[in-house]
Structure 1
């Protein structure tokens, strides 16, 4: 299976990097691999039940009909395919985080990114321009909510794609695109190591109210310092990198996938959310404007590679997105 070939090669890269820097692959408190696998399993069960109930509701809901749909739809082959996709995704995500962590061993190049931003905005800081335009109170809290909601949105979306699509292979396109965005993203971290404008230009964000954003930023900097000082410590693990913005990249993948599945209203909602994410990443100091531009490019490349991975000769026929009318059972391939 091509998806697993990609995942296996990426895992080999992560293992090679781990050996080179002398830091083993880690899953701190099980938060990256084990707990997320559990969350995905729980979401899969819930979404499968919702999917079956909605399909049955078209003919009149009963518990017996719901169970019949579940048995028909979730045969052994389909379950194996879905489990395989989720495992491949989480393996890549686990390796991504470990490679991201060891990237902090390389010297950051924030001054260069800061210079690019100032050049693009004619000598001005894009964050300061946003602060002047939007203010530094209500907007800070609104954009904080947008930024922090990303994690759950992404988590639910990729499980929903593989669970709700009529054809499992169409769900694999989403998983493959998500896998590629993490791979390309960590590659961009190594291309230009950076910490973010909140660290390189803290004066630009001094007027913002203190929220969980500043606490998270301080924690990430402390994690980096701890790893640099004690790389062999079992709790040494860093999560800070700016270029490119994977908040923007993954959100753009969600938008492109909504369009791929023909979900027009979802695509419109994701367009609005992407706009808020672009603002939030710069306004709150997580990313330079050029990080966001790079994130947009990564997303389009990732989706192209995702589709090529699953449909190397192109797809024939229309895409059957989540809960298409008239379809009660799914084709496996």
Structure 2
């Protein structure tokens, strides 16, 4: 069965109609919760700046990386680099591609903003903590031992700590960079939309998991178990998050920081697993897939090694990532790869097959 190009909705509506609505509903729920609980709404800053500035800037950088080499190779043909840049922008970045990229960034941003605020609301709405139960589950998985202690004994606390710290901290750049790359570089718009939507669903499902089993994590529940670890970027982040927690609990209106501590489930694991799974299912180059799967393993190890998460948090993270990928595939729809064309004219689409 074939659908004529003129009979379909714009690409951004086809791909992000459902995900954008889900993110908007999630945001409205967050706003209503803030009003009901009398809590402030914050835009969480990263070390690259607020997300509403960070994401568009990364997107623009990715577009520049996409445009400049193409324009440089055509500069002689088109009478100069400036004219070549304009031609590439006009032919490649007008129409469906730009609309999908913008819709994807908005969908992601709303879901992430709401997730971070719901996470900050958590200690005010859920006073109970389940760390005691999760500690017992760790001992069960490790046959009476402590998983963090075991990893530190086996892997050591020297260079391993620095390597795993770098792996863990790379996540801060990994998420926005891979989001922008998926929305900007792929000629298959559906693949980029699938990934962006899966990331957004991770934030939503992760919020549910935080409220289902509110917990702080081993580093805060049993800090004495991690005193042998050297100072790293991770230990600095852990101290900073705990200071933010104290400030927010004291008076959430007196600080611009957000509460950022929650253990179950591991969103680090779920997000990197989502990236690796989408790369695997869409048959990205083998080297990319292998690198991503290695990153998944190292990230899962780092979360336990540094005491961010219990073992069950990682297991739940894998489940959450898999569910997010499946839900996202349903949300963006099946069909043949959706290729962008200038002036929002879409090619014919085969509706059978993925």
TM over 0.5: yes
Tell me if 1:13 matches 2:4. Answer: no
Shift of 1:81: 2.9
Distance between the aligned counterparts of 1:3 and 1:111, measured in 2? 36
For residue 149 of structure 1, give the secondary structure of its aligned residue in structure 2: helix
Tell me if 1:183 matches 2:204. Answer: yes
Shift of 1:118: 0.5
Tell me if 1:153 matches 2:177. Answer: no
Shift of 1:43: 2.2
Shift of 1:56: 6.3
Give 5+ residue unaligned stretches, structure 2: 1-16, 348-354
For 1:3-152, list aligned pairs within 5 A. 3-27=19-43, 35-54=50-69, 63=81, 64-105=83-124, 106=126, 107-152=128-173
Give 5+ residue unaligned stretches, structure 1: 321-326
Q: Residue 303 of structure 1 aligns with which residue?
A: 325
Distance between the aligned counterparts of 2:73 and 2:193, measured in 1? 27
Distance between the aligned counterparts of 1:8 and 1:47, measured in 2? 26
1:244/1:292 contact within 8 Å kept: yes
Deviates more, 1:111-120 or 1:204-213: 204-213
Kindly tell me: are residues 61 and 108 of structure 1, through their superposed partners in 2, closer, same or farther at Cα, counting changes over 3 Å? farther
1:55/1:328 contact within 8 Å kept: no
2:129/2:215 contact within 8 Å kept: yes
Kindly tell me: are residues 58 and 231 of structure 1, through their superposed partners in 2, closer, same or farther at Cα, counting changes over 3 Å? closer
Deviates more, 1:235-244 or 1:291-300: 235-244
Q: Give the alignment partner of residue 294 of structure 1, picking from 316, 341, 347.
A: 316
Q: How many residues align structurally?
A: 323
Q: Residue 281 of structure 2 aligns with which residue?
A: 260
For 1:211-222, list aligned pairs within 5 A. 211-222=232-243
Distance between the aligned counterparts of 1:51 and 1:284, measured in 2? 37
Distance between the aligned counterparts of 2:234 and 2:274, measured in 1? 24
TM score, norm. by length of structure 2: 0.84
Deviates more, 1:70-79 or 1:53-62: 53-62
TM score, norm. by length of structure 1: 0.89
Tell me if 1:242 matches 2:263. Answer: yes
- Note the alpha carbon deviations across 1:7-34, whole angstroms, 9 max, x for none: 1110122122212321031225x55997
Shift of 1:110: 0.7
